[in-house]
């Protein structure tokens, strides 16, 4: 099942789900223009099918092996699509043995690991790019760690652009199957090297 191009289709689904839940404000296409432009023409795009949670974690382990310090990965998809599962698998592959908490309320969960630090951001609750600047998160980027950003579109164009953008989507009706579709975009030369490593032959 092909994934929708981002962010338009994804943001429409998110908006509908959040509205049904009475959640926080959602920014639509005009507000997300900067986020979408960050990887509008990827250097490489691959689509894969992940049969179950174990397959998602195996993919995450390949991603962990291919990442390098300083890289930024955007994780996109609707609620429950598997973003946090992917992060958990990545952290396990890097040697983290403790709990993996979703940073929905804390916004950031840092992990100091042997190869490099991992900074896991979740911007689901953001209502504007101003919140990103107020939080001082820019200080974590462009250094020796890897930054994983869920819901980057919620901070519009304030989030540093990705090296790799990964979009997860349900295959079939949400909740009816654990199968996921994943689209991987290489957005920079560093991201291209990473994508070539994890999905060579895609």
For residue 39, how many other CB atoms are within 10 A of its CB? Answer: 21
Q: Are 4 and 169 in contact (CB under 8 A)?
A: yes
pTM (predicted TM-score): 0.78
63 half-sphere exposure, CB direction, 13 A CA radius: 31
pLDDT reported for residue 172: 65
pLDDT reported for residue 94: 96
Structure tokens at 45: 């795009």
Report the chain (202 residues): mean pLDDT per 10 consecutive residues. 35 35 33 52 90 90 94 91 91 94 90 96 90 90 92 89 93 69 94 89 54
pLDDT reported for residue 173: 61
pLDDT reported for residue 176: 55
* Helices and strands, number each (H, E), in the chain: 6, 7
pLDDT reported for residue 29: 29
């Amino acid at each position: 099942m092909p994934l929708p191009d981002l962010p338009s289709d994804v943001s429409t689904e998110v908006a509908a789900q959040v509205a049904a839940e009475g959640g926080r404000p959602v920014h639509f296409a005009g507000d997300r223009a900067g986020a979408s432009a960050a990887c509008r023409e990827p250097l490489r795009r691959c689509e894969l099918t992940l049969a179950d949670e174990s397959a998602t974690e195996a993919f995450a382990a390949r991603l962990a092996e291919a990442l390098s310090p300083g890289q930024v990965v955007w994780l996109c998809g609707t609620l429950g699509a598997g973003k946090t599962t992917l992060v958990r698998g990545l952290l396990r592959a890097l040697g983290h043995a403790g709990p993996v908490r979703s940073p929905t309320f804390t916004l950031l969960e840092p992990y100091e690991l042997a190869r490099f630090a991992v900074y896991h951001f979740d911007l689901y609750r953001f209502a504007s790019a101003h919140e990103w600047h107020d939080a001082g998160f820019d200080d974590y980027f462009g250094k020796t760690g890897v930054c994983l950003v869920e819901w980057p579109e919620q901070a519009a164009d304030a989030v540093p652009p990705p090296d790799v953008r990964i979009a997860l989507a349900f295959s079939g009706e949400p909740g009816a199957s654990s199968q996921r579709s994943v689209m991987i975009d290489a957005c920079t030369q560093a991201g291209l090297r990473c994508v070539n490593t994890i999905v060579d032959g895609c």
